[in-house]
């Protein structure tokens, strides 16, 4: 259980940004409506995409009916319906308003805007109309949009056939090639042009680490041959994603920033890794754990414009040297963010090993003594976030940090049990009080904190039984709060009941009183 020792050492700075977040594929549903194209997550989950723009079953299930990728744990779960937020967006906005919220982080679905990921031409007008309406109503309700451009729902057409490669594309010498760049640039340029008059904060990519490293067989899409070598493929995809991030920021700064007066950055993710002992070896291994994940995607942008030297050295010694940036690419990458977006969930120990391991760090994690969440990978301690914030401050010269995600999964058997989420209340109490200490005592420049998530939703390869919401979602409209939850992997189309949990009410007190 959580220590009950948290206390708030004062107030958060005036104007501190409190919010909640979601992502398009996890909440929207309406997967085949208004001209939406197929995404790699429709393919990965085994959704029936036949007839949808860009659909291609030739390398997933070979034929209808579609079958989920073998790394999809929650068989049968898809984003087809999810929390039905595409239709219930007014309910979501009213819910957030009732919580006293002023900031909402969500993502735009690329395959809605460009169903086949086109590099030219006009966007899908129905999708543009939907996001226009949503943004207008959000603003009218007094909330500011924080918009992620890529939260993993890549248009399937850009990866069909797989040889196209999308982020995973490389030339015959194995060097990354940005052949997806024209498509990406056209998409982001279109979003800035159409929504940038009202959207003032943009996040290019959500967790490049998760959608590259975990996409080679650890549960994230596409998870298909020939992209399954975790020692090589994530680093190709990561390289192309970093260049795509820099290209998006360049477009925004050259064409839009002066007139639209918004800001743009990227969200990277890291759970804290505490040295298991105070031996020199374990301390160095724990440092590598953070450098080889957070540093991989932060050093090129917030550091010297290139991968961390320690990472380059180890990869070279292992004979799988990291891809190299040209001088022009380095120049575009360096400084290509107006703020540091950070997703953080938990903490574990880290100890040195003799073998390089899956992440090439010559280290391994363990979790004795930490509180465990519902997710297999989730263990927590509020002080881990404080240490991580200090790490970012030290390494990247005190950037403006927005914690763009932080949250806790809790299992529930009934709606009543889901709503009494004491574990999640304790998580947010411990974590937000440590953020306050980082600001007041350590001088870390934290500007905002977004709880993950507004709603229980489609938790990627795990499907629906894993619940991260501060609001409970009844996917099957069981009106008796004490009835056992089917914890179904297949939400019933239609009305998805929402009910605020204790954590939502606790957070409301925190952000109303600051
Ligand atoms: C994030 N890990 O993913 C995503 O941004 C969200 O969409 C997701 O729902 C949320 O966290 C909860 O999982 C992560 O293994 C996936 O350390 C995996 C890890 C961390 C975050």
78 Cα–ligand 1 center, Å: 17
- Classify residue 259 as exposed, middle or buried by CB count within 10 Å of its CB (0-12, 13-18, 19+): exposed
Can you say whether the dihedral through the CA atoms of 205, 207, 211, 216 is positive or negative?
A: positive
Within 402-494, where are the H helices?
A: 415-419, 422-440
Q: Is 122 a catalytic residue?
A: no
Pocket flag, ligand 1, residue 345 (CB < 6 Å): yes
CB 107 within 8 A of CB 170: no
Q: What was the pLDDT predicted at 492?
A: 80
As a whole number of angstroms, the distance between CA 482 and CA 236 comes to 49
Q: What is the mean pLDDT of residues 468-494?
A: 82
As a whole number of angstroms, the distance between CA 25 and CA 27 comes to 6
pLDDT in tens, 135-167: 999 999 999 999 999 999 999 999 988 778 999
272 Cα–ligand 1 center, Å: 14
Residue showing tokens 């099957």: 476
3-state secondary structure of 264: strand
Residue whose CB lies within 8 A of the most ligand 1 atoms, among 460, 464, 473, for a mutation test: 460
pLDDT in tens, 368-406: 999 999 999 999 999 999 999 999 999 999 999 999 999
Reply yes or no on whether the pLDDT at 479 is more than 80: no
Q: What was the pLDDT predicted at 58?
A: 65
CB atoms within 10 A of CB 473: 25
CB 449 within 8 A of CB 406: yes
Residue nearest to atom 3 of ligand 1 (CA): 210
Residue nearest to atom 15 of ligand 1 (CA): 377
Helix (H), strand (E) at residue 275: strand 272-275
Non-local (6+) Cβ contacts of 318 within 8 A are 231, 356, 360
453 Cα–ligand 1 center, Å: 11
pLDDT in tens, 85-94: 999 999 999 9
**Eight-state DSSP code of residue 510:** H
Q: What was the pLDDT predicted at 91?
A: 96
Q: What was the pLDDT predicted at 490?
A: 84
Reply yes or no on whether the pLDDT at 513 is more than 70: yes
Q: State the pLDDT confidence band at 82, using cuts at 50, 70 and 90.
A: very high
Q: What was the pLDDT predicted at 478?
A: 65
pLDDT in tens, 295-314: 999 999 999 999 999 999 99
Q: What percent of the chain has pLDDT over 90?
A: 88
Ligand 1 atom closest to Cα of 459? 9
pLDDT in tens, 266-298: 999 999 999 999 999 999 999 999 999 999 999
Reply yes or no on whether the pLDDT at 57 is more than 80: no
Mind giving me the DSSP string for 335-369? T--SSEEEE---EEEEEE-SS-TTTTSSEEEE-TT
208 Cα–ligand 1 center, Å: 11
- Classify residue 316 as exposed, middle or buried by CB count within 10 Å of its CB (0-12, 13-18, 19+): exposed
Provide the mean pLDDT of the chain.
Answer: 95
* 5/471: higher pLDDT: 471
pLDDT in tens, 319-343: 988 999 999 999 999 999 999 999 9
Ligand 1 atom closest to Cα of 375? 13
406 Cα–ligand 1 center, Å: 9
Reply yes or no on whether the pLDDT at 239 is more than 70: yes
Q: Which residue of the set 287, 299, 405, 461 is catalytic? A: 405
Helix (H), strand (E) at residue 201: strand 201-206
Residue whose CB lies within 8 A of the most ligand 1 atoms, among 23, 39, 151, 207, for a mutation test: 207
Q: What was the pLDDT predicted at 3?
A: 78
Structure tokens given for 249 = 């920021």
Reply yes or no on whether the pLDDT at 64 is more than 80: no
Structure tokens given for 62 = 């070979």
Q: Among 5-9, 31-35, 41-45, 318-322, where is mean pLDDT lowest?
A: 5-9
Asked if the bond preceding 222 is cis, omega within 30° of 0, the reply is yes
As a whole number of angstroms, the distance between CA 410 and CA 433 comes to 21
Residue nearest to atom 13 of ligand 1 (CA): 459
3-state secondary structure of 170: strand
Q: Is 405 a catalytic residue?
A: yes
Tell me what ipTM this predicted complex has: 0.96
Pocket flag, ligand 1, residue 212 (CB < 6 Å): no
Q: What was the pLDDT predicted at 59?
A: 57
Pocket flag, ligand 1, residue 207 (CB < 6 Å): yes
Reply yes or no on whether the pLDDT at 408 is more than 90: yes
Reply yes or no on whether the pLDDT at 62 is more than 60: no
Ligand 1 atom closest to Cα of 271? 17
As a whole number of angstroms, the distance between CA 126 and CA 189 comes to 18
CB atoms within 10 A of CB 64: 10
Reply yes or no on whether the pLDDT at 246 is more than 70: yes
CB 145 within 8 A of CB 135: yes
235 Cα–ligand 1 center, Å: 19
**Eight-state DSSP code of residue 411:** -
Residue nearest to atom 19 of ligand 1 (CA): 210
Q: What are phi and psi of 491, to 5 degrees?
A: -55, 145
Residue whose CB lies within 8 A of the most ligand 1 atoms, among 218, 269, 273, for a mutation test: 269
CA-closest candidate to residue 484, choices 419, 412, 411: 412
Q: What was the pLDDT predicted at 6?
A: 79
Q: Which residue of the set 28, 207, 299, 461 is catalytic? A: 207
Ligand 1 atom closest to Cα of 457? 9
Q: State the pLDDT confidence band at 481, using cuts at 50, 70 and 90.
A: confident
Angle between helices 125-140 and 89-98 (to 10 degrees): 20
As a whole number of angstroms, the distance between CA 296 and CA 239 comes to 10
pLDDT in tens, 192-228: 999 999 999 999 999 999 999 999 999 999 999 899 9
Residue nearest to atom 7 of ligand 1 (CA): 23
Pocket flag, ligand 1, residue 405 (CB < 6 Å): yes
Reply yes or no on whether the pLDDT at 365 is more than 70: yes
Q: What was the pLDDT predicted at 60?
A: 56
As a whole number of angstroms, the distance between CA 44 and CA 224 comes to 9
Pocket flag, ligand 1, residue 468 (CB < 6 Å): yes
CB atoms within 10 A of CB 358: 13
């Amino acid at each position: 259980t959580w220590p009950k020792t948290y206390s708030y050492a004062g107030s958060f700075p005036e104007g501190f940004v409190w919010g909640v977040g979601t992502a398009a594929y996890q909440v929207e549903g309406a997967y085949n409506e208004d001209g939406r194209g197929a995404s790699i997550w429709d393919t990965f989950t085994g959704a029936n995409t036949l007839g949808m723009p860009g659909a291609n079953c030739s390398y997933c299930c070979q034929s209808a009916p579609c079958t989920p990728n073998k790394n999809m744990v929650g068989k049968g779960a898809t984003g087809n319906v999810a929390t039905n937020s595409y239709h219930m967006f007014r309910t979501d906005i009213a819910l957030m308003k009732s919580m006293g919220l002023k900031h909402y982080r969500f993502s735009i679905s690329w395959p809605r805007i460009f169903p086949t990921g086109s590099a030219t031409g006009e966007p899908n007008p129905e999708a543009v109309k939907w996001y226009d309406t949503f943004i207008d109503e959000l603003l009218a309700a007094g909330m500011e949009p924080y918009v992620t451009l890529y939260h993993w729902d890549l248009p399937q057409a850009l990866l069909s056939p797989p040889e196209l490669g999308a982020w995973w594309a490389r030339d015959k010498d194995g060097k990354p090639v940005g052949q997806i760049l024209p498509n990406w640039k056209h998409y982001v340029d279109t979003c800035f042009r159409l929504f940038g008059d009202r959207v003032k904060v943009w996040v290019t990519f959500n967790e490049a680490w998760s959608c590259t490293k975990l996409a080679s067989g650890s549960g994230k899409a596409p998870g298909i041959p020939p992209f399954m070598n975790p020692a090589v493929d994530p680093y190709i995809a990561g390289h192309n994603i970093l260049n795509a991030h820099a290209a998006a920021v360049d477009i925004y700064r050259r064409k839009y920033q002066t007139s639209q007066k918004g800001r743009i950055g990227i969200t990277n993710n890291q759970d804290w890794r505490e040295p298991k002992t105070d031996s020199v070896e374990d301390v160095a291994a724990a440092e590598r754990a953070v450098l080889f994940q957070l540093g991989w995607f932060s050093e090129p942008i917030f550091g010297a414009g290139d991968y961390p030297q320690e990472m380059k050295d180890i990869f070279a010694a292992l004979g799988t040297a990291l891809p190299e940036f040209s001088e022009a690419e380095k120049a575009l990458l360096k400084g290509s963010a107006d703020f540091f977006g950070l997703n953080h969930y938990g903490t574990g120990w880290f100890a040195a090993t003799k073998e390089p391991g899956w992440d090439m760090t010559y280290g391994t994690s363990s979790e004795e003594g930490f509180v465990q969440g519902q997710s297999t990978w989730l263990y927590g301690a509020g002080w881990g976030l404080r240490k991580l914030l200090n790490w970012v401050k030290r390494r990247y010269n005190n950037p403006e940090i927005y914690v763009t995600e932080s949250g806790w999964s809790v299992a529930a058997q009934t709606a009543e049990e889901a709503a009494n989420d004491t574990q999640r209340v304790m998580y947010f109490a411990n974590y937000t009080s440590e953020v306050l200490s980082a600001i007041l005592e350590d001088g870390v420049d934290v500007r905002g904190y977004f709880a993950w998530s507004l709603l229980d939703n489609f938790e990627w390869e795990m499907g629906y039984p894993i619940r991260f919401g501060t609001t409970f979602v009844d996917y099957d409209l069981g009106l008796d709060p004490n009835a056992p939850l089917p914890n179904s992997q297949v939400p019933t189309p239609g009305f998805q009941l929402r009910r605020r949990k204790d954590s939502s009410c606790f957070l409301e007190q925190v952000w109303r009183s600051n």
